[in-house]
Structure 1
Amino acid sequence: MDIQDLSQRIAAGERRALARGITLVESGRADHRAQATQVLAALPRDRQALRIGLSGTPGVGKSTFIEAFGMTLVQAGLCVAVLAVDPSSARSGGSILGDKTRMDRLSREAGAFIRPSPSQTHLGGVARRTREAVALCEGAGFDVVLIETVGVGQSETVVAQMSDLFVLLLAPAGGDELQGVKRGIMEMADMILINKADGDLKPAAMRTCADYAGALRLLRKRPQDPDGYPKAMMVSALAEEGLDTAWADMQALVSWRREAGFFDATRAAQARYWFEEDVRSALLSKLDDATAKRAMEQLGSRVAEGALAPSAAAAQMLDVLDGNFGPARVDPVPDSP
């Protein structure tokens, strides 16, 4: 594979090259990981897209909202990339990857790119390499990147560590107002959108919006929020109502954070977070080493027989890994001039 050619084609905005690049970064092969690192390093560094993470429970209408919202952005002259994460089967390991078929209008737009990816075994609502896929979309020149999570529960907040705005979609009459003050995904959201605010559900949507607006006022004020944020508002993806207002509020929040210095500071903190996560992932991958597997099997058998306590076996396993790693080497930092 010609890494330089692939990087140049991605930077030129070629969709096929971008799709191939995302496949490369999602691969677990060691040679592919090395090539993916080279591709990411060769992309332009001066391009910056607005990253919007979207989460919500299954059935809330995430795909319908993303298509309607994406069409609004495309009609405004923006290029939009959608990274949709599908849950993987715990039995077979496969995923349907059907999000693109739900967004048939948006998928036909020249200014839109949709890429479904399996979550595999990664927790947190996103795939392990979604962050790198976002970087590829930024390098390809997209203005907005929408990151759709698998949409499971209150602890799926990893998407907030790779997005500039975290939007939570809720359905009308989905619970009592106590849900709004629960910690977890609720306190991570920058905006709460009550979807399906149309037809017979509109009165219920109004009550739900009022409940969550009141609950948000009870949460501790965050330094990165101006007055009035986070906020709850009603939208209808089906009737395409409230989307322009939601986009205007998102832009206002981002502009305020840029001027106040929170935007760049948040991205810097996110970069450090993913550095630490990559280190943890690399350490866990050491368990696939032949020596480590053999030690795990032997110690696991002794634990199963009752000859060794799990905590004692874990301590011995760590000693084995320490022996494999050897002493850590850190390059000295040069003195400042």
Structure 2
Amino acid sequence: MNHINPSYRSKFKSKRSATEIAKAIVERDRFALSKAITLVESSDPTKKQISTEIADYLANHTSPKSIRIAISGSPGVGKSTLIEKWGLQYVNQGHKVAVLAIDPSSSVTHGSILGDKTRMEELGQHRNAYIRPSAAGLTLGGVHHATRESIRLCESAGYDIILIETVGVGQSESMAAEMSDIFVLLLLPGAGDEIQGIKRGIVELADIVAINKADEDRIQLATESAKSYRNALSLYHHPILEWRVPVSMISGLRGFGVNLLTDQVNAFCKLSKEKGKFDTKRIKQDIDWLYKTIEQEVGYLMYNNPNISDTLTNFKSQIIEGKRSTHSLINELRSLIQRTYDNQ
């Protein structure tokens, strides 16, 4: 850990109650913050209960008005390099920056590299920056299932700029957009031809588009790409009608265009607040999160019910043997679930 943040020393004890952990987070203890995120990410029922108690405590404490920025793009587009430059700019302006970096997981081993701290070494050493890598696991949407809770924990610890680096897996990046205030899409020079070069589902989420790696030998290509994307985006109307999605050329490696990105983020947030969209969007996100969490928990309870689990095993056999249709089995399962919960 020393090469990540050599100046940091924590007095945090390994065994503390949920309230003690929550209080330590409010007091800006980064070890406590990491502990809480680990608890949130756990599937262990006991740890989940502790994380719930922490969340309940922190709900009664005012968090700073943060800006949540999701940054998406295909692997190799330069997300981590840009985030380090961007994060350093923010901390040098007096902000506290939290980076939630989601690493892709192997579909075979479910393991991930979790190398963002080494890729963002300079930012990771800054006392006003916090980098938390997490594995995406099998979660669709390019984010960890607990990313939303992690955002709240970081805000309670005083971080006012939250940068969410996503896996970059395509249209399912909508989950990242659903937990951020602004969605930044990174593209490479020459990545496709005009509208064919943009995945429709993901571009409709974008509030800002940036052509990264616009370095000396690729300036012309980046210029042509930016023009093509602007033409394509002219056919699309942003939810905030007054906002025209900007397409700019940047270089995360050289830091070129990072100031422009910051200006664009500030302009978007200002307009969003003026139009009453900023807080409304967050409220909608919280409600959507409530329903999605309920669906997940109901699914968990269902699959862990012995009667339902045994029935599903039997259903699999019937499908393999071609004895019954999926539609018929679903109707039978629906009746079983109804009887199970009616008898409780």
Q: TM-score, normalised by structure 1?
A: 0.93
Corresponding residue number in structure 2 for 1:317: 333
Unaligned residue ranges in structure 1 (runs of 5+) = 329-337
- SS of structure 1 residue aligned to 2:272: helix
With over 3 angstroms needed to count, the CA separation of the structure-2 counterparts of 1:304 and 1:242, relative to structure 1, is: same
How far apart, in 2, do the equivalents of 1:10 and 1:292 lie?
A: 41
Q: What is the number of residues matched between the two proteins?
A: 326
Equivalent of 2:177 in 146, 152, 160: 160
What is aligned with 2:249? 234
| Cα distance in 2 between the residues matched to 1:199 and 1:143 | 34
Letter of the 2:313 counterpart:
E
Question: What amino acid does structure 2 have at the position aligned with 1:294?
Answer: D
Identity of aligned residues (%): 38
1:195 aligns to 2:212 (yes or no): yes
Q: Give the drift of 1:31.
A: 1.9
Task: Select the residue among 120, 128, 134 that pairs with 1:117.
Answer: 134
User: How far apart are the structure 1 equivalents of 2:137 and 2:83?
Assistant: 22
Using the TM superposition, give the Cα deviation of residue 46 of structure 1 relative to its aligned residue in structure 2, in angstroms.
Answer: 4.1
- The residue number in structure 1 matching 2:192 is 175
Alpha-carbon separation, structure 1, partners of 2:145 and 2:115: 19
Q: CA deviation at 1:182?
A: 4.9
In structure 2, distance between residues paired with 1:304 and 1:138: 49
Residue 141 (structure 1) aligns with: 158
User: Which secondary structure state, in structure 1, belongs to the residue aligned with residue 334 of structure 2?
Assistant: helix
In the TM superposition, residue 155 of structure 1 has moved relative to its aligned partner by 3.4
The one of 46, 52, 60 equivalent to 2:77 is 60
Aligned: 1:289 with 2:305: yes
**1:301 aligned partner:** 317
Q: Which amino acid aligns with 1:240?
A: G
Q: Report 1:19-58 matches (<5 A).
A: 19-43=34-58, 44-58=61-75
User: Which one-letter code corresponds to 1:164 in the other structure?
Assistant: D
Kept after mapping to 1: 8 A contact 2:143/2:176: yes
Change (3 A) 1:225 1:114: farther
Shift of 1:241: 0.8
**Over aligned residue pairs, what C-alpha RMSD do you find?**
1.5
Q: How big is each residue's C-alpha offset from its partner over 1:268-324, in whole Å with a ceiling of 9 and x where there is no partner?
A: 110111011101111221212222211111222222222222221121122222222
- 2:268 is aligned, of 236, 239, 253, to 253
- Deviation readout 1:108-132 (Å, 9 max, x if unpaired): 1111000000111110111111000
In structure 1, C-alpha distance between the alignment counterparts of 2:339 and 2:112, rounded to whole Å: 38
Q: TM-score, normalised by structure 2?
A: 0.91
Tell whether the 8 Å contact from 2:69 to 2:163 is kept in structure 1 after alignment: yes
Q: CA deviation at 1:37?
A: 1.4
Q: Read off the aligned partner of 1:26 and give its amino acid letter.
A: E
